[in-house]
Amino acid sequence: NKQVILNNYVVGFPKESDMSIVEGTITLKVPEGSSDLLLKNLYLSCDPYMRFFMTKEDNPLGIGTYKLHSALRGDGVSQVVESGHPDYKKGDLVYARTRWEEYSLIPSSEICLKIEHTDLPLSYYIGVLGVSGLTAYAGFFEVGSPQKGDNVFVSAASGAIGQLVGQFAKLNGCYVVGSAGSKDKVDLLKNKLGFDEAFNYKEEPDLNAALKRYFPEGIDIYFENVGGKTLDAVLPNMRLHGRIVVCGMISQYNLTQPEGVTNLAHLIFKRVKMEGFLIIDFFHLFPKFLEFVVPLIREGKVVYVEDIVEGLENGPAALVGLFSGRNVGKQVVDVSRE
Ligand code: NDP
């Protein structure tokens, strides 16, 4: 049972060498009388939040850290091999909080969803049909309170969440601009994902000027994925009564000294509502979200870009690549052939 384990706690940017591939020793059997499930993992999700579990101190969410020399925990799509729980049987496909290994023995409470729409790619259940999709949906519609015609700016726009926020905003009749870190990503945003405009933030010497160019009348909704300099440039460009949906601040996660934000006073001048959220508070919306998004995918009105690497041994590089923008779209590790 091949596994990806954490070798040491991480300070600063995570590196591939912080993780190793080892041969683990779990018993591939559900213990007698237990309601656990033995899963064959098929697709593993690379998520920025996994960095919070790599620190020695408890993470800011207060939900523990990874145990050194054990398989990383993460979201995955898996197939039930053996079940001690009456709701699941051998062969069922599930979206679960699993581990970075070929087979996992997990309590049934770690199952998030039994997969039913199997005509769609299974990997979608850790992307557009999983937490990434739900985060885009809840963040944009519930926290952002969009109105038709709003001017929407999305950072990390080509990523797992950003690409969906942009598409949901377009479906809602908004004007949408995205920022991303390469020319290819900018092309993708404009030519495949339907954004009105997009720019490469790494090539803009003055972000404030770039935003003024794309939003001469100001921004109604900023969907925040990156924080730092981008947030600082957005603040003076917000429109009266705008909303800043604080989903993530990936540019800050690896800094030992977070960057300061100097333009917060614009929240007052423009009466802007800035609100953070955690997707765990919106899990009750999962069924409503799937009812919304599955038909849109089937009709081709929502598309989803994935970046799939093959094999557990390529998992560590894919995971750390999130912090340098190596991924184009949702980063997935395909372990189905292990
Ligand atoms: P992505 O698929 O967007 O991958 C991360 C992307 O972030 C990279 O591809 C890169 O794109 C960009 N990035 C990395 N470092 C920087 C930097 N220093 N400055 C600017 N951009 C950077 O990830 P997700 O869509 O899964 O996550 C997006 C955000 O949402 C993250 O901040 C994450 O923590 C947050 N999140 C929040 C949740 C919640 O409950 N609130 C739930 C899930 C995720 P580029 O090439 O464009 O730089």
Domain membership flag for residue 298: no
Give yes or no for residue 295 having a pLDDT over 80: yes
3-class state of residue 179 by DSSP: strand
- The confidence score (pLDDT) of residue 194 equals 98
Q: What is the CATH number of the domain that holds 119?
A: 3.90.180.10
Q: Contact 309/318 with Cβ under 8 angstroms? A: yes
Q: Which structural domain range is residue 314 located in?
A: 2-127+304-334
Domain membership flag for residue 289: no
Query: Are 233 and 156 in a shared domain?
Result: yes
Residue-wise pLDDT tens digits, 46-71: 999 999 999 998 888 888 899 999 99
Q: Contact 323/253 with Cβ under 8 angstroms? A: yes
Domain membership flag for residue 71: yes
Query: Are 110 and 145 in a shared domain?
Result: no
Q: Contact 4/312 with Cβ under 8 angstroms? A: yes
Query: Are 320 and 231 in a shared domain?
Result: no
Q: What is the ipTM for the molecules in this complex?
A: 0.99
Which pTM does this prediction carry?
A: 0.97
Model confidence at 114, in pLDDT bands (50, 70, 90)?
very high
Q: Whose CA is nearest to atom 30 of ligand 1?
A: 248
Domain membership flag for residue 330: yes
Give me the residues paired with residue 336 across strands.
Answer: none
Give yes or no for residue 316 having a pLDDT over 80: yes
Query: Are 101 and 161 in a shared domain?
Result: no
Ligand 1 centroid to Cα of residue 90, in Å, is 35
Binding pocket residue ranges, ligand 1, CB within 6 Å: 47-49, 132, 135, 156, 158-162, 180-182, 185, 225-226, 247-251, 277-279, 322-323, 325, 327, 330
